Amino acid sequence: MTTDAFIDALPKVELHVHLIGSASVPTVLELARRHPDGGVPTDEEELRAFYRFTDFPHFARIYQAVNALVREPEDVATLVLGLAADLAGQNGRYVELTVTPYAHHVVGMPMREVTEALDLASRRSREEHGVRMAYVFDIPGEYGVEAARVTLDHALREPPQALVGFGLAGIEQERPRYRNVFADAFRAATAAGLRSLPHAGEMTGPETIWEALDLLGAERIGHGTSCMDDPRLVAHLRETQIPLEVCPTSNVCTGQVARVEEHPLPRMIEEGLFVTLNSDDPPMFATTLSREYHVAADRLGLDRETLTTLARNAVEASSMDPADKKEIRDEIDTVAARHSEATL
C-alpha cells in the first residue's frame, strides 16, 4: 500500500473547521449569484483569485464577505451538509464544526431558526453521509462585548442538540480590550457543560495561549503554533497533554508561516506535544483534511506511524462518547494493521 493509498484509507476526525470557511467553490458561486449585491465574484476563476490572501486581515475581510452571503437558515443547512459530503469522500467519520452565531444574528436570522437548521443538518449528515456532526459556537473576538453576549445567549437559550463546545476566534490582537468579557462568557458556558475550545497562538505569541489556558480554562487550543517560542509553555503543554489543533496549509495561506516546509508541526511532535491535523477553511485554502495528511507526509516528512498517531489523537481529543471513539479507533487500527501486513 502506497503512502497516498494509506492516507486515503485512514479514517479521519476533523476538529478545526469553520462553517463559512467550509463552503466549496460551487456553493459560494451559487450563493454569490443568488446575492449579487454581496460583492463576491460570480465567476469561478475570479472567485479562486479572490481567495489568494495577502495576510490574515485580508483573509478576515474575504471571510466576512462570503459570510454575508449566508442569509437564510436553509443556507446554513446546505453548508453543513456540503461539508459532511466532502468529509465522507475523505473517509471522514466525525467533525466538530465551528459556527459563529453572531454572524447570523447580524443578518437578521432568528436564533431558533439557525438552531433548527443545525439540528436538521446534523441528523442528515449522519443518515446520508455517515458523518457524525457536532458544533462549537465561537465568539468573533474583534466584535467584542456584543458578540460575546449574542454567542453566549444562543449557546445557553437555543443550543443545537449537537453543541459540544464554546470557542473564541477572529483577530487575536483585538482580544486584550475584551479580556474580562470573554473570561466571563467562558465561565458561564463551561458551567453549562460546554467545553472551552478557543483559538490562540495563531497570529500572536505565546501570551495568547497562556491567557486561553489561565483565563478561559481551555481544554483544547485552536492552532497554538506560537507555543514553540516559549520553552516554559512547551513544557506545560507536554506535561498536561492539552491538544493543539494544527492547520499547516491555513498558516501558510494567512501568512503566519512563510513556507509549509518551515511549519513547526514536526518540532511540536518531537517535543512530545499532543497535536491533531485539521483543515480550518478548506476550500478557501485549496485544501482538504486528507490533503493536510498528504502535506504532512510529503512536505514535512512524517511517516505512516506518526500519521496514524495524529489520526488517533483527533479521536481522543474529540467530544465523542467512549463507544464512538472506540469504533473509530478500531477502524484506524485496522487500516494501520493492513498496511503493516502489506509491507512485510
**C-alpha cell belonging to residue 223:** 492552532
Please say if the pLDDT value at position 242 is more than 60: yes
Please say if the pLDDT value at position 136 is more than 70: yes
Please say if the pLDDT value at position 113 is more than 70: yes
Report the CATH number at residue 228.
3.20.20.140
* CA–CA dist 330, 8 (Å, integer): 17
Task: Pick from 28-32, 45-49, 198-202 the range whose average pLDDT is largest.
Answer: 198-202
Report the pLDDT value the prediction gives residue 343, as an integer from 0 to 100: 59
* CA–CA dist 183, 189 (Å, integer): 10
Domain with 168 in it: 3-343
* CA-to-CA dists, residue 35 to 62, 210, 216, 239, angstroms: 15, 42, 38, 50
Report the pLDDT value the prediction gives residue 344, as an integer from 0 to 100: 45
Report the pLDDT value the prediction gives residue 342, as an integer from 0 to 100: 61
Catalytic center residues: 202
**In this predicted model, what pLDDT tens digit does every residue of 155-183 receive, in sequence order?**
999 999 999 999 999 989 989 899 999 99
Please say if the pLDDT value at position 249 is more than 80: yes
Please say if the pLDDT value at position 190 is more than 90: yes
Please say if the pLDDT value at position 141 is more than 90: yes
**C-alpha cell belonging to residue 109:** 436570522
**Residue-averaged pLDDT of the chain:** 93
Cα dihedral across residues 282, 271, 222, 51: positive or negative: negative
Residues near 24 by beta carbon (within 8 Å), at least 6 away in sequence:
82, 86, 283
User: How many domains does the chain fold into?
Assistant: 1
Percent of the chain with pLDDT over 90: 77
Judge whether 224 and 245 are in contact, CB under 8 Å: yes
**DSSP per residue, 170-228:** S-GGGGGGGHHHHHHHHHHHHHTT-EE--EESSSS-HHHHHHHHHTT--SSEEE-GGGG
